[in-house]
Structure formats: structure tokens, C-alpha cells
Amino acid sequence: MIDVHLVMYKNTVGVIGYRNHSKKLIKILENSPKIKRVIVYCYKKELISNLTNKNKSKKIFYTEQLSDLKKFCNLVIISSPSDTHFYYLRYFIKLKKYIFCEKPGFINKKQISFMEKLPNHIKSKIYFNYNLLHSSFYQHIKKNKNLDKEILHMSYHSSTGIAFLKKFRNNWRFTSKDIMQRITGNWGVHSTNLALNIFGKLKKCFIMEKSMSSKKNIDTCSISLNFKNNTTVNIFLSYAAPMNDVMTLLFKNKILKYEDNKVFEYSPRNYFDKKGLFKRPPKKNLKNLNEDISNNSLERSVKYFIDLTTKNKPFPKNLFNNAIDTVKIFLKFENKN
């Protein structure tokens, strides 16, 4: 057990996970002036001494005892593999902790049913990290109320070529039979959740999966969403295409496009050349929105969690409900196939 003077500090965060994405979260917490201490749980006892020896921060501690997070932390971040999220959620829900859980949080109908039956006062203490909602791109739409009423369509294309890398050929991203572990659910939940928060209630959904790098491993998917307000969303994701990350929102009188960490606005709608023919409208670089849409929004998402929990405030109900509805979309597709 770690020596933390056997005291629960008010703003102490327990982190479940110590690699990759968890490292980003730990660094953000370390740099937050509101967080007094970070206790990182690692179930592999043999790694604790190595992690501790490499640790140069007086704010961070490592432990192999999950009970240490129970005793010393009032806030918990779950950043372990997706198929373990629900186990830790149940554990800390019983302890009435504030919980920051990486997406998706649950991976089957039974787990969703459990979460839906939770009382509202418990739901209000759980935050699922769909951090695109904290991107300056989304916040710009949210703040400009006229924009969300004029949206016609959203498209998102994102890809990398990792399917052709030797070290990834037998990776769980390709070999898993669980849709929430494959590219469709694991990656698709981010943009799908963003669409639910922009467009509201879903009417229809169509998902297609295919393999472009081999005959057996799914590495590409297409997601089409049709909403009750008659707006549409097309999402294309691939581990077998050149690196690309482009999001486009079409409005009645303008286009917003995110590409290469920049956001451009094209307007107005009626723009003509000297012959009176329609011409692509001029673009303006919205410099105040320029950012890495994932990493910068992750910092803001963690800050949002810290700000609300340190003030003992509840999380909005719609965030919890949209997190549930996002996963349901992919589980329905899996059950059909």
C-alpha cells in the first residue's frame, strides 16, 4: 500500500490506467492547480516499482491496491481498456464518487440496462468523456444559436494507415469480435456522439463495415445517421487509408470545415463569377478556432470535469442520456448481423 499519510485530500484524483491515453490524462491532472494529488492504479504489481522510480512528480503516486482509490480519492478517472469500464463503474458507483469514464463506459445491453436504472442523483455524478463536445469547433456552434438551427448536413472523414503496420496486424482493434472494440464502435462513438448532441433525436441509422487490408479483419466503416429534424450525417473511418481528418458542416448560408488543425468558413451561399455562374465562396480562416480537435478538447474536457466536481455540481442529464444512446446505435447494428 502506498504511503499517502492516510488522509483523503479533498481534490485527490484516482486514475485507473497508466499507459497511452492515461498518460495524457495524468499529465493534464498534474498541471491542474485545483488537483492536490493523483493516485494511479496499476494492477500489475511488478510494474509499480518501475513506475515509481521513473516518477519525478511529488503530486503523483502509484499503487497496485484499488482500495487506495476508495480510501484516499474523492474523484476517479476510468481510463482502462473498454471492456473493463463497467466493472470499475459499478465499484465506484457504490462508493458515491464523482466518476470520469472514458468512452464508451458499457459494451452490451445488460450493462446499459443497469446504467439506465440508476437514480438521477447517481447519474449526475458520472461523466463520460466524449471530449469533442469541448472542442472550440463545437462550442462555436453551440454559442451561435442561429447556426444550430441552420445546419443541413455534417460529414466526417478520418483515417490512418495502421492496418498495414506489422505491429498492428494482430491488434485487438482488428481481431476483436466486439463492435465496441472494432473501428466502428471504438472510433465511431466520438463523431456519433457529437452528432447526437448537435442534431438531437435519431430516426434511422445505417452502418457498413468492410476490410481493405485483408480478407478477415474489419478496418473500415461507414456510418449514416438520419435525424428526426431531417438533417443527415455521414461518417467514414478507416485504418487502411492515408492519414486524413476532415469535418465539414453545411449550413444554409455557409460552410464550416475543419482540416489540418484549422477551421475555415466559406460564405456566402450566393457567390457568382463575372459570368453570373455559381462560384465556390471565399474562405476565411477562423483563427480563434484553430486547434488539434482531439488533444486540445481533451484538456478542456478534463478541466470541465474538475471545475464541476470541485464545486460539487451535477453533470447535465442530456450528456448521460446521449452517452447511452450512442452505444445503443452500435449494439443494434451488431444484433442485426
Query: Minimal CA–CA distance to 180: which of 18, 310, 332, 320?
Result: 332
Average pLDDT, the chain: 91
Longest dimension (CA), the chain: 78
Matching fold, domains 12-130 and 133-306+316-336 = no
Q: Which three cell numbers stand for residue 22?
A: 492515461
Query: Cα separation of 206 and 286, whole Å?
Result: 33
User: Which positions ≥6 away from 25 have C-beta within 8 Å?
Assistant: 15, 17, 77, 79, 298, 302
More confident residue, 335 or 70: 70
Q: In the predicted model, is pLDDT for residue 3 greater than 60?
A: no
Q: In the predicted model, is pLDDT for residue 6 greater than 60?
A: no
Report which DSSP code applies to 316. Answer: P
Q: Report the pLDDT value the prediction gives residue 337, as an integer from 0 to 100.
A: 63
Q: What is the pTM of this model?
A: 0.91
More confident residue, 4 or 309: 309
The CATH homologous superfamily of the domain defined by 133-306+316-336: Dihydrodipicolinate Reductase; domain 2 (3.30.360.10)
Specify the CATH architecture of the domain 12-130.
Answer: 3-Layer(aba) Sandwich (3.40)
Q: Which three cell numbers stand for residue 227?
A: 435525424
Distances, alpha carbon 173 to alpha carbons 155, 176, 322, 329, in Å: 23, 6, 24, 19
92, 71 Cβ separation under 8 angstroms: no
Q: In the predicted model, is pLDDT for residue 247 greater than 90?
A: yes
Question: What is the tens place of the pLDDT at every residue in 28-71?
Answer: 999 999 999 999 998 887 888 888 888 888 899 999 999 999 99
Rg (CA), the chain: 21
- 55-75 b/e (C-beta count within 10 Å ≥ 16 → b): eeeeebbbbbeeebbbebbbb
- For the chain, what are the domain ranges? 12-130, 133-306+316-336
Q: In terms of DSSP H, where are the helices of the chain?
A: 21-30, 45-54, 66-72, 85-94, 109-116, 120-123, 136-143, 145-150, 172-175, 183-186, 188-199, 295-310, 317-336
Q: Report the pLDDT value the prediction gives residue 45, as an integer from 0 to 100.
A: 78
192, 235 Cβ separation under 8 angstroms: yes
Mean pLDDT value across residues 322-332: 95
Q: In the predicted model, is pLDDT for residue 7 greater than 70?
A: no
Neighbours of 337 (CB within 10 A): 7
Task: Quickly state the pLDDT bin for 8 (edges 50, 70, 90).
Answer: low
Neighbours of 270 (CB within 10 A): 9
Question: What is the tens place of the pLDDT at every residue in 161-181?
Answer: 999 988 887 888 888 888 998
Q: How many CA atoms lie within 13 A of 246 on its CB side?
A: 11
